[in-house]
Amino acid sequence: MRGKKYVALFMMVALVLGAFAGCSGSAESAEAETVKIGLIAPTTGQVAVYGQAVQNAVEMAVKEQNLAGGVLGKQIELITYDNKGDATESVNAFNRLVDNDGIDAFIGAVISSTSLTVGPLAVEAGIPMITPTATNLDVTLVGDSVFRACYIDPYQGKVIGQFAASELGAKTASILFNTADDYSVGLADAFKAAFEAEGGTVVNFEGYNGATDKDFKSILTNVKAEAPDVMFLPDYYNTVGLIADQAKEVGVEATLLGGDGWDGVLGVSPESVEGGYFANHYAKDDPAENVQAFIAAYDESFGELPNALAALGYDAAEIMFAAIESAGSTDKAAVIDAIANTSIDGVTGHIVFDADGNPEKSISMITVKDGKDVLYGKFGAK
């Protein structure tokens, strides 16, 4: 009787242990089946056109990679959250990706302000992070695990300032910038320094609050009085459209200049920015084979032509896939080292990283001609 009880007890323990072993094996198998990559993008809110473009491109890159066999022989599982362009939403989303979803690597966030918020969290967690589109200088300075696929604001502003003076021959410039946005302030400062270094004179350097201001006519009246050769508007396309429309109403005749935040302005105010120039990460009429292949695939997938944010999102994903493959595992430290040693021909140019995680590449200067974005040329800082 006692022997039977021990047999029964032994069998019960064996079943329990077997169940635990089965659960453990199942969890390990599940972890081994996929490589988990997190993505945070503002797919709703004021800059949704940027977030949706990045999400579309990353999803397309994941689909292509999975069809080609994935990475390390595993399929990529993309886990996406909408941060609405908000810092708090970004923190919450990143914490979910790390604590609940167990991501191996992270792509995002999209705009500079939210990337500045998430970057320190990625460093603390040791997560490899590539922001496709955040151009603020400080984004990658928080730690070795943070990279970007785009050029930085100081570099962009410097190139535009030199372009205005050297290529356009401008002698005077007005600068209107959004004091509530680090991106706008950084570009304004860099443009001013570069333009003045080339012998130009800044006749207006005026700020506004992009979160609240909608009427810019008093500032633009000051600009008109100075009659500058160029007017630099380093802000995002919605605000640029408002200012450009009002500049036309007031009678400002300066050639308008902008940064990559202008991408999408043709959908808002094409007539008012006609003849203007802006820096961008790539041009849709660039004849390069990989550029045209990307554009064709994106158009087929989403029924529209990709903006520059989509191109950067695609490149960020390709960099991450290549780094994981090169690392030979999803070990986070190994992936970070592999990203740092990247050398890849992307849609937005040949990409290698400097010591601060910033790519070194040329800038496409776009001009608005007959209501279309046209590649004027590619320029780098002197």
Tokens 């003849």 -> residue = 275
75: three-class secondary structure by DSSP: strand
- Tally of CB atoms within 10 A around 4: 8
Check residue 189 and give its pLDDT.
97
Check residue 382 and give its pLDDT.
80
Residue 72 lies in a domain: yes
Alpha carbon of 83 to those of 79, 112, 289, 378, 379: distances in Å? 13, 13, 34, 33, 33
> 260 with 306, same domain?
no
- Is 18 a residue whose pLDDT tops 70? no
> 142 with 54, same domain?
yes
Tokens 């994981």 -> residue = 324
**What is the Cα 365 distance to its own chain's centre?**
18
Mean pLDDT throughout 347-374?
Answer: 93
Residue 183 lies in a domain: yes
> 171 with 254, same domain?
yes
Residue 372 lies in a domain: no
DSSP element (H, E) containing 330: none
Mean pLDDT throughout 208-223?
Answer: 94
Alpha carbon of 260 to those of 75, 202, 228, 265, 282: distances in Å? 33, 21, 22, 10, 10
The larger pLDDT score, comparing residue 7 to residue 338, is at: 338
Give the domain extent around 312: 35-151+286-362
Check residue 32 and give its pLDDT.
54
- Is 20 a residue whose pLDDT tops 90? no
> 246 with 290, same domain?
no
> 144 with 159, same domain?
no
Residue 182 lies in a domain: yes
- Is 3 a residue whose pLDDT tops 70? no
CATH code of the domain containing 74: 3.40.50.2300
> 194 with 293, same domain?
no
The pLDDT tens digits for 76-129 are 999 999 999 999 999 999 999 999 999 999 999 999 999 999 999 999 999 999
- pLDDT tier at 153 (50, 70, 90 boundaries)? confident
The upper half-sphere exposure of residue 318, i.e. CA atoms within 13 Å in the direction of its Cβ, equals 22
Residue 381 lies in a domain: no
The pLDDT tens digits for 247-285 are 999 999 999 999 988 988 999 999 999 999 999 999 999
Check residue 211 and give its pLDDT.
84
Number of domains in the chain: 2
> 217 with 102, same domain?
no
Average pLDDT, the chain: 91
Listed residue (277, 112, 87, 276) closest to 184, CA to CA: 112
> 247 with 263, same domain?
yes
- Is 379 a residue whose pLDDT tops 80? yes
Mean pLDDT throughout 212-220?
Answer: 95
C-alpha dihedral sign at 286, 156, 210, 82: positive
> 124 with 75, same domain?
yes
Residue 22 lies in a domain: no
> 142 with 98, same domain?
yes
User: Tokens representing 26?
Assistant: 């199942």
Q: Do the bridges between strand 201-208 and strand 172-178 make them parallel or antiparallel, or are there none, so unpaired?
A: parallel
Residue 14 lies in a domain: no
Check residue 252 and give its pLDDT.
98
Residue 4 lies in a domain: no
